[in-house]
Amino acid sequence: MNMQDQPAGTPPEPQGGTRCGYVAIVGRPNVGKSTLLNHLVGEKIAAASRKAQTTRHRIRGLITRGPDQLVLVDTPGMDPDAPKLLGKVLNRTAEAALHDVDAVIFVVEADRWLAADEAMAQLLEDCGRPLVLVVNKVDRLKDKGRLLPFIDRLRRRLEFSEVVPLSALKGMNVEPLVEALMARLPPGPHLFPEDEITDRPQRFRVAEVIREQLLERLGQEVPYATSVDVERWEEKGDVVHIDAVIWVERENQKAIVVGKGGRMIKAVGMGARHELEALLERRVMLRLWTKVRESWQGDLEGIRRMGIDVDP
């Protein structure tokens, strides 16, 4: 939180010596931003998958340790070549997230620098925020000797206040990142209750769990066309009844999501229910439907109706 964001009249030094700051997590699609966020907060709050464009929102994850509160902002992967309007909207969401933060985590994959990384680097060149480089997926690097030259190359490309090689998936070397970020927090009051781990409501997290199941189980084409909406949430005794709609763009995609004899949607439902019961710590009755909303990714109104933020 920048001092100038505080209402007029508040003293510059908050009482109690608390500190609080926003840090955006940015990078091209699929580098592991959401996996990192989930690992940092210790629970799944954002869907993560092998498919690009998994994240469609700015998702805040919170870490509070005593007087320090870190607000992490996960963003959609930036891809300058994203063909559809949805891709462009997601790029804007990511770009807008850079504006109101105290620092930026630039996530890249170890020893893998693509055109989309370079485009991201160009954007970061003049964002005017301290940059922390996270070199993720070091567990996949066969020749560890390649790590240092890779980091050296990036250091010549951009100025970083910190460089942390890690594995978000395995949770390797993640703590030094948290410590480095915590050490740089500006003074300020906490913006969220200390026991919260995200600003997103349970319904959103439920939809993300279902979408992650879809992304993992479906082939290449359909997942991008899907979106999940929780339509009913009813608590009866110790059971939560949840009805959710899986939106697709075409009839033939509906058939794929349902699968032969309903097998696919059943598997998605079972996988999701299993995770949701752990998340909600209650029994879950989950009902899934598929519905068609044509080409919703192609028009702003459709994208908005899917609950995706559209930045001006």
Ligand X SMILES: Nc1nc2c(ncn2[C@@H]2O[C@H](COP(=O)(O)OP(=O)(O)OP(=O)(O)O)[C@@H](O)[C@H]2O)c(=O)[nH]1
Site membership for ligand X, residue 53 (CB under 6 A): yes
Among 140, 146, 153, 232, binds ligand X (CB under 6 A): 140
How many C-beta atoms surround the C-beta of residue 299 within 10 A? 13
The half-sphere exposure of 205 on its side-chain side, counting CA atoms within 13 A, is 18
- Phi, psi dihedral angles at 58 (to 5 degrees): -80, 120
Smallest separation, CB 216 to Mg ion (Å): 14
Is 77:94 a contact under the CB 8 Å cutoff?
yes
Site membership for ligand X, residue 55 (CB under 6 A): yes
Q: How many residues bind ligand X (CB under 6 A)?
A: 24
Report the partner that residue 72 touches, choosing among Mg ion, ligand X, none (CB closer than 5 to 8 A by kind). none
27 is in an annotated binding site: yes
Report the partner that residue 181 touches, choosing among ligand X, Mg ion, none (CB closer than 5 to 8 A by kind). none
Judged by beta carbon, residue 76 or residue 188, the one nearer ligand X is 76
Judged by beta carbon, residue 68 or residue 275, the one nearer ligand X is 275
Give the whole-angstrom CA distance, residue 238 versus residue 181.
Answer: 40
Burial of 220 from C-beta contacts in 10 A (0-12 / 13-18 / 19+): exposed
Report the partner that residue 190 touches, choosing among ligand X, Mg ion, none (CB closer than 5 to 8 A by kind). none
Total count of residues recorded for the chain: 312
Give the whole-angstrom CA distance, residue 260 versus residue 279.
Answer: 29
Give the whole-angstrom CA distance, residue 62 versus residue 199.
Answer: 8
Smallest separation, CB 244 to ligand X (Å): 20
31 is in an annotated binding site: yes
Q: Which residues bind Mg ion (CB under 5 A)?
A: 33-34, 54-55
Smallest separation, CB 27 to ligand X (Å): 6
Smallest separation, CB 81 to Mg ion (Å): 18
Question: CA 131, 137, 138 angle in degrees (round to 5)?
Answer: 95
Site membership for ligand X, residue 223 (CB under 6 A): no
Smallest separation, CB 78 to ligand X (Å): 8
34 is in an annotated binding site: yes
Sites for ligand X among residues 68-127 (CB under 6 A): 76-77
DSSP state of 186: P
- Angstrom CA distances, 159 to 2, 212, 290, stand at 22, 35, 47
* 90, two tokens: 């997601």
Site membership for ligand X, residue 198 (CB under 6 A): no
33 is in an annotated binding site: yes
Locus of tokens 């702003």 = 300
Site membership for ligand X, residue 30 (CB under 6 A): yes
Is 20:191 a contact under the CB 8 Å cutoff?
yes
Residues lying near ligand X in the complex (CB under 6 A) are found at 27, 29-35, 48-50, 52-55, 76-77, 136-137, 139-140, 167-169
Which residues fall in the annotated binding site for GTP?
27-34, 74-78, 136-139
